[in-house]
Chains A and B, each alone.
Chain A
Amino acid sequence: MKKIAVLLSHSPFDGAMSREAHDMIMALAAVEHQVTVIYQDAAVLQLLPVHSAAMLGCKDYTPAQKLFELYEVAAVVANTSALQRYQMVPEQCLIAVTALSDQDIQTLLAQQQHILRF
């Protein structure tokens, strides 16, 4: 088992980047790695519920984030400054997140054995 951080930076429908990142998160967690998911920059938008999925023109994969808990993802973190930039608060998010500062995220990353960026 490794401590692995998955760092998400892209908005939710920016190609397959975020959708396939979620697949990777669940695969890593399924084989019992200790996975920390970190939403930064526009990736915090992945945490917002999509109200008109039928209008999207592509599959709304974002509800699958609710499976992170089932897969025992160790921690889900959102960058405080990114939340502020997009005028979001953790209570709006689809799943429970811990808001952390840039410095706290740096500390968290230093504790990881592997980091994957999406």
Chain B
Amino acid sequence: MAVFALYVQSSTYACPTLASVLRFAKAALLQHHQLDHIFFYQDAVQAIVANADLPADEPDSAALLITFCQQHDIPLLYCVTAAEKRGFVTAAAPARIGFIAAGLAEFAMRLDAVDQVVQF
């Protein structure tokens, strides 16, 4: 059994990144591995936007991921600096509920307890 961290940095808009993350996370738990956390950085922080207006025929992959992480008590972290620089989070428009603000230092420290990092 291994302890995984999922590190997401590629775009999450109009592409299957979040679905891939969720698929991997489910498979890892099914195989009795542990997920220490999921961390969003670079353009992937777009996933945290609370007020995105998704077309009705598009899946809300972020919502599915949030629900899964809440059910399994997996911290869903994002780099607050990367999000703020892109204007994805402000005092008036906080991140979508379920995402937790973190810094690169927290991600770096968590790697001490992780056997494998999988990058998306």
User: Across the interface, do B117 and A114 meet the contact criterion of CB distance under 8 Å?
Assistant: yes
Of chain A, the residue at the smallest CB distance from B105 is A27
A4 within 8 A of B: yes
> Smallest distance from the beta carbon of B51 to chain A beta carbons, Å?
23
- Which one of B13-21, B58-66, B87-95, B106-114 is at the A interface? B106-114
Among A28, A31, A117, A118, find the residue whose CB has the most chain B CB atoms closer than 10 A: A31
The answer for the CA separation of A118 and B119 in the assembled complex, in Å, is 10
Q: Chain B binding site: helix, strand, loop or mixed by DSSP?
A: helix
B34 contacts the other chain (CB 8 A): no
A20 close to B (CB within 8 Å)? yes
Chain B residue contacts of A33, Cβ below 8 A: 108, 111
Count, chain B residues at interface, CB 8 A: 20
Q: Is B104 at the interface (CB under 8 A from chain A)? A: yes
Bound Cα distance A20, B17 (Å): 20
B112 touches A28 (CB 8 A): no
Q: Is B42 a contact of A27 with CB atoms below 8 Å?
A: no
Q: Are A27 and B111 in contact, with the CB atoms below 8 A? A: no
Are the CB atoms of A20 and B119 closer together than 8 Å? no
Contacts of B111 in A (CB 8 A): 2, 4, 28, 33, 114
> Which residue of A has the minimal Cβ distance to B117?
A114
Instruction: Tell me the interface secondary structure of chain A in the complex.
Output: mixed
Cβ–Cβ contact B117 & A30, under 8 A: no
Cβ–Cβ contact B119 & A117, under 8 A: yes
The smallest beta-carbon distance between B82 and chain A, in angstroms, is 6
CB-defined contacts of A23 to chain B, threshold 8 Å: 81, 104
Where the two chains meet, the residues of B that have a C-beta atom closer than 8 Å to any C-beta of A are 7, 9, 41-43, 81-82, 85, 103-105, 107-109, 111-112, 114, 116-117, 119
5 closest residue pairs by CB, A with B: A27-B104, A31-B108, A114-B117, A27-B108, A28-B108
